[in-house]
Chains A and B, each alone.
Chain A
Amino acid sequence: MAEEVKKEERKKRKTATEAASKIGSMVKAAIGGTVRAKEEGKKLAYSFIVCSYDEIIRAMDIVPVWTENYAGICGAKRDAQRFLERAESLGFSRSLCTYALCGLGFDQWREELGEMPPDAPWGGQARPDMMLSSGQILCDPRNKWYQAAQQFMPDVPIYDVGLPWPLYEDDIEISEVQDYYIAYIVAELRGLVKFLEEQTGKKMDYDRLRELVDLGERTWNLIWETYELRRAVPTPMGTGDAMNTMVPMVFMLGTQEGYDFFADLNRELKEKIAKGEGVVPDEKYRLLWGGGLPSWFALTDFNYFNSKGAVFPVETTYRMIEPIYRLDIPDTDDPLERLAWRWLGYWTYWYDRAKKRPGSEPDVERLIQYIEDYQIDGVVMHEAFSCRTWHLGLIWQLNQLQKIYRPIPVLVLGAGDKKKMERRELPSLILESDIVDISSYSEVDTRNRIDAFIETLESMKKNKADTTN
């Protein structure tokens, strides 16, 4: 087992915003904080992001250990291979989710040693007191990872929270099914509270939970308003930075620190817009990151796009919020019900729009909305080989987008050299690699693809200019 893969020291990636540049140290402090919390006897829970239980665990004073985050850190530091290889040696296929493989390899090693693996990135991932799985409509690993980890930690209990939402159907309205979805989600969250009460020996303070849910909702609204500022031309913040600012969005929800971060970012973006300051000095192409988790070890690819004058004012990835006031959450004093309605409202947010456009569906509607709102010239996606959750259906979404939405009218030479109107498809690029496993990545190949894509954009821009002159 090549456990001693030499770490590659890398320069810190240049961010467009001050706020995003602070994320690295925030994450480092948070991870170090979990190790200290363990030493102080606090209860730690292995947790997944976007599981609607953020405020619940915060209200119970449980310290979340975000296992996907730690795997991403290992990937970003290009130090995941030794953990992936260890997982593989235990019998896990390398084709499985590499967040999970990295975590399982790490956990097994830590349990075997009785201490952190040598040179564990940022001090290592602390041993949990409990693990909070999640059974959703997506992400099988969230349902299987912690169960697999019990092989090394059989004493650590799991609670698997059921968090479904209805898939989009032509013949079924959400109103037909929402009551039993809400009832189930609330029951699952109550079950979680009961489990946490048993594990901690303390009762849930529902007043405090109400306050945190309120804070979480205000944070959602603030993030949405802040991200909408990126519509400005030139855009003051790109997806590269958003892959940093997702940290306070999904790892700090229900904390004042998370809210304050976005208040600062909001101020910073407004200042940049007032000064006309963009991600790049000369913004040529506005791109939509239309799907796929990023390669955490290659975030500098966003800077490479920037070097060509291309910016990403918007992304679907890790924009895990919608404005609360648009989610039709009914009045209720029960914070668990509020969480359930927020959950269902988020995942079904685009359904009504999809019903209005034949051949569309929610994910495609979301792309269309962003293309229009953010004046998008092209779509870029990333297909990570190890993750089916976020990377299946992307090709189809692009195909469908081209079928039902052709937003760029251009004049081309037709028969008899007469100019005629034609609608050009939105150019798109799908990059291929992984989230954590760097062995799947080729910088040369990736950048060649980016170059070719930029050439396409350039050529389209030129055509457009020629035909409008």
Chain B
Amino acid sequence: MSGEKAHGMAKVERYYEDYGARARELKAQGQGVMLYLCSLVPVELISAAGFVPLRIRGSVHEPITKGDTQLETIACPFMRSCFDISVKGTYDFADGIIIPHACDSMSRTYSVWRYSLGLRYAHFINLPHTVRGASMEFFRSELQTFRKSLVRFAGKEITDESLAEAIDAYNENRDKAKAFYELRKGDPPLVTGTEILKILTVGMSLPVHEANELFDEVLEELGKRKDSPLDKAPRILVDGACVDNIDFIKLIEDSGANVVADSLCIGTRDYWPRAETGMDPIKSLAHRYLDKVNCPRTYREKVGDSYEDDLEARFGDIGSLVKAFAVDGVILYVYKYCDPFGFEVPAREAYLDQLGVPTLYLEDEYSIGTIGRMRTRIQAFLEMIA
């Protein structure tokens, strides 16, 4: 890739390495910055309120130290890392933090976050656990409460029009993110899984219009690639919770496989679902975040007569990805102490077995310290499916 063509990717590299740099710059210029955890916070509302949404990212390289003086080590290691990075001052420039009811590790630590960070604003969004009509109605009310709370803090009205505009902008962002995945369908793919994760992660740290511009730029660059940087190799899909550091994906690719798809946050789980347009924007957001983002924290009633039917209803999106990206094997990557994913592991394995896709289940600790152990398991798996 020439220097000119690599301009967008160079920016991605820079923002990936200095995560949050653009938000920091904008804050220095007087714009508000709102931190958030997880894929279940409606960033459209934050954006419509005039803030830059900045997703909190952990670091697999940074030992958890200060965080452990305030939080139990039995929490999800990803969340612990996010907390540790935050209490060490990484995001001190932000105005506030928003945490959703995703899992116990987040819900039960909301007070800890709120007081320990000491930011001027904090809010908890209470997502219900089911997707029934009453749950949707409740969640819409809860989103209106969030809207009111943001308006009070921002001193700026969030009109339906501004919210609809934000929804459009994020839909555009999600369409562009999805377009990156088209570049992974070839064999070998034109982009690496590592590159994709960097791009998508950086996208979570920028104002949406800037993210859209950057994605356009990078799409154009990558679209012009004639040769793949990869060799033909087993095509892997990574399924699991939140991966926001490239190291695990890179480890798989360095072990002789191509990561061609994912069912992850940051990845298809949070980037692909669009919000409906042409309707009440709050209703649209409630539907997107509660129903369309297929996270195991949300209970989905059993569908069909057989257990197999139910598995298809719950995990059919993974099956579609396996087919669309001609996947040879799946790595199910779950963090220790993650109850929502942990209780689904046998069901996910059963579903993938039903599809006839070889699966490797790895439980990890969100730390570079486990990389040796992970490498051995991955290499053995790749040998098995080769």
Interface residues of A (CB under 8 A from B): 90-93, 95-97, 100, 133, 135-141, 143-145, 147-148, 150-151, 154, 157-158, 160, 162, 164, 166-172, 176-177, 180-181, 183-184, 187-188, 191, 359, 361, 363, 383-389, 391-396, 399-400
Q: Is the CB of B103 within 8 A of A140?
A: yes
Knowing A143-B129, A151-B347, A154-B310 touch, does A137 contact B107 (C-beta < 8 A)?
yes
Residue of A nearest to B141 (CB): A180
Which one, B126, B132, B345, contacts A137 given CB within 8 A? B126
Q: Is the CB of A393 within 8 A of B109?
A: yes
Q: Is the CB of B339 within 8 A of A388?
A: yes
Minimum-distance CB pairs A-B, first 6: A135-B129, A144-B343, A187-B134, A184-B138, A392-B108, A180-B141
The interface residues of chain B lying within 8 Å CB-to-CB of A383 are 72, 74
User: Is residue B21 contacting chain A, with contact meaning CB distance below 8 A?
Assistant: no
A-B contact list, 18 entries, CB within 8 Å: A93-B334, A137-B101, A140-B297, A140-B343, A150-B302, A151-B346, A154-B302, A157-B302, A167-B124, A180-B137, A180-B141, A191-B134, A363-B111, A383-B74, A385-B74, A388-B76, A395-B72, A396-B71
Shortest Cβ gap from A10 to chain B (Å): 27
Count the B residues whose beta carbon is within 8 Å of the partner chain — how many? 60
Shortest Cβ gap from A343 to chain B (Å): 14
A167, A183, A400: most-surrounded residue (chain B CB, <10 A): A167
Q: Is the CB of A171 within 8 A of B152?
A: yes
A191 to B344, CA, bound (A): 25
Shortest Cβ gap from A87 to chain B (Å): 9
Q: Is the CB of B344 within 8 A of A143?
A: no
The interface residues of chain A lying within 8 Å CB-to-CB of B72 are 383, 391-395
Q: Is the CB of A162 within 8 A of B339?
A: no
The interface residues of chain A lying within 8 Å CB-to-CB of B134 are 162, 184, 187-188, 191
A143 to B105, CA, bound (A): 14
Q: Is the CB of B299 within 8 A of A92?
A: no
User: Is residue B340 contacting chain A, with contact meaning CB distance below 8 A?
Assistant: yes
The interface residues of chain A lying within 8 Å CB-to-CB of B132 are 162, 191
A97 to B69, CA, bound (A): 23
A157 to B304, CA, bound (A): 12
Shortest Cβ gap from B277 to chain A (Å): 25
Residue of B nearest to A392 (CB): B108
Interface residues of B (CB under 8 A from A): 69-72, 74-76, 101, 103-105, 107-112, 115-116, 122-124, 126, 128-130, 132, 134-135, 137-138, 141-142, 145, 149, 152-153, 296-297, 299, 301-302, 306-307, 310, 334, 336-337, 339-340, 342-347, 349-350, 361, 363
A148 to B149, CA, bound (A): 37
A170 to B135, CA, bound (A): 25
A145 to B347, CA, bound (A): 12
A363 to B108, CA, bound (A): 11
The interface residues of chain A lying within 8 Å CB-to-CB of B135 are 162, 184
Q: Is the CB of A392 within 8 A of B299?
A: no
Q: Is the CB of B105 within 8 A of A167?
A: no
